[in-house]
Structure 1
């Protein structure tokens, strides 16, 4: 049972907006620890969102960077208004499940760019859910000083009063590592990126990377269509795959190349000799740009005759990787024309 709010030393601290959510840092393996030391949650592929309900029951839903989501996701705002008490702040993820039961980030993107006029129609045709995994304030009292274990108990008490088959959903969580490993191995088929792992005894720290994220990654092949940086020291690669019509489509970019990787790849790149299948600059969303980057991608085009193996997570938007992928090695033994988009294999 959670510590009563009025007895906790942090209970009367006032929160001030806009709110910076707690963040997670990447890890490559499960952390060690005693049973019950860690809480494991599925890492959903959606929009991070905090919902603030003020003393007049006004609702404000903000993005990770503080942008207003109210007009984009009216069904979430309405559900929060209906079921969450005043002077409460929730932290969670807005997600869209498609008819096949897979997370659909592309639908979220369409909602984000559709504008106010289409928001109501899309809320009906492509409704979203708000998966809540943390609690920052409850009935006007700051609970960020409570442990995650205590905050979770309060959140479960709150959701016991909320209809289960609605827009609001309590985020999944387990304290059992064996169960978390099963989630990690199986949930990727539904578009779940991996796990967020949190110390059960930790308080909520805004803007701090106090959580861990363990992403599920798999190797794949891609065709190099261009590079960023200098010809003798490329800093990154622009990647593509062929579709069923024989078009080389941009699918992403690599993370920063190490000096060793750059030295390995540079001699294998041939300057484009004629017409290239891609424009000379790429919109940032075309190639997994870093979070928040809005500038077009300037790069040097090369002949698309080299295949590389990369390590990618499960987050995709259409045929593109949403996050930069890690370069592993060149695959000079493979024919670029045989590197086909996954959804076109067997079509």
Structure 2
């Protein structure tokens, strides 16, 4: 089951609200004394997260399927980088990381219970069965996902949990069945604007196809790569005409960027003088010291000096 983005929080007696956890979406299935965890793309995850698989195997009755999220709680917030490290690790390394950086499974839907197919049941019924199942589960690695019928509580989650890495809210109709691949759920993500310094461009400085964004490191004051924009429209390219110029000697960045943003090849780009500030709308999710997702670009801000831009990856400070 998938979700589509909304700009405002819907309200009504049929809506259920949940935090949007920052982790790996996963389906957990226990069958015949074996436990299988698969990603949304169908990739097996049980060997990458053996501690989660062992907990689910011990806790779930046979012929049971959960939909949920694998997360890593660092003590200060959700740590997506730890999940990425686990995902790249060999099986022996994954077992070592399971001891050092244990992950957890947050269950938010019940698709099958002791061979009974629940996908044709309403969400309200599935949730009721899920809560009863978790009433008998006491493993700290397994957690029942939060859910509320009250929009005021959902807004408190939206505002109060951003600092620990919760990406926003999931909004679900309690009357709906579960249809894999269908975008019947809704998601309200935290999107607020901020500024960044342009340190490079993909394409030409006079006609960039995308911008490589920088932020000053709060400790060293050095310009660090923070992310890259989505591909620019023709109107956005026109609006940048004359505002960017190729860098001279002394630019702090390498001539090529390491593979990132979903590609397997180094990113070829042109360094520019880090003097233009732009307004962007980043998703606050981070990975490897950068904004994890490509960043929507809004407009140039020649009225803002680079020294006035927030430092690190902070949105506002």
Query: TM-score of the superposition, structure 1-length normalised?
Result: 0.84
Q: Which residue of 19, 23, 26 corresponds with 2:5?
A: 26
Q: When the two structures are aligned, how many residues end up with a matched partner?
A: 314
Please tell me whether the aligned partners of residues 205 and 246 of structure 2 are also in contact (alpha carbons under 8 angstroms): no
Q: Is the 8 A contact 1:234 1:266 kept in 2?
A: no
Gaps of 5+ in 2: none
Mapped partners of 1:69, 1:132: distance in 2: 16
- The reply to whether residue 152 of structure 1 matches residue 127 of structure 2 is yes
CA contact (8 A) 2:214 2:223 kept: yes
Q: How does 1:87-236 map to 2 (within 5 A)?
A: 87-100=63-76, 102-163=77-138, 166-229=140-203, 231-236=205-210
Is contact 2:37-2:46 (8 Å) kept?
yes
Can you give the 5+ residue segments of structure 1 that lack an aligned partner in the other structure?
Answer: 1-21
Matches within 5 A, 1:272-283: 272-274=247-249, 276-283=251-258
Q: Note if 1:256 corresponds to 2:194.
A: no
In the alignment, is the contact (CA less than 8 A) between 1:132 and 1:168 conserved in 2? yes
Structure 2: how far apart are the matches of 1:205 and 1:277? 50
Distance 1:266 1:115 in 2: 47
Q: Deviations over 1:122-173 (max 9, x none)?
A: 212211110010122221232111111111111111111101x511100001
Per-residue CA shift, 1:90-137, capped at 9, x if unaligned? 11111111122x111111122222322222222122111100101222
Contact 1:95-1:130 at 8 Å conserved across structures = yes
Runs of 4+ in 1 over 4 A off after TM superposition: 229-233
Does the CA-based 8 Å contact 1:192-1:314 persist in structure 2? no
Note if 1:328 corresponds to 2:307. no
Q: How does 1:272-311 map to 2 (within 5 A)?
A: 272-274=247-249, 276-285=251-260, 289=261, 293-311=263-281
Label 1:301 to 1:40 Cα distance change in 2 as closer, same or farther (>3 A): same
Please say if 1:241 is aligned against 2:205.
no
- How much has 1:282 moved relative to structure 2? 2.5
Report the Cα distance in structure 2 between the residues aligned to 1:49 and 1:136, rounded to whole angstroms. Answer: 13
Q: Distance in 2 between matches of 1:316 and 1:87?
A: 36
Find the counterpart in structure 2 of residue 57 from structure 1. 33
Aligned to 1:14: none
Partner Cα separation in structure 1 for residue 241 and residue 108 of structure 2: 45
CA RMSD between the two structures:
2.1
Larger displacement relative to structure 2 (147-156 or 308-317): 308-317
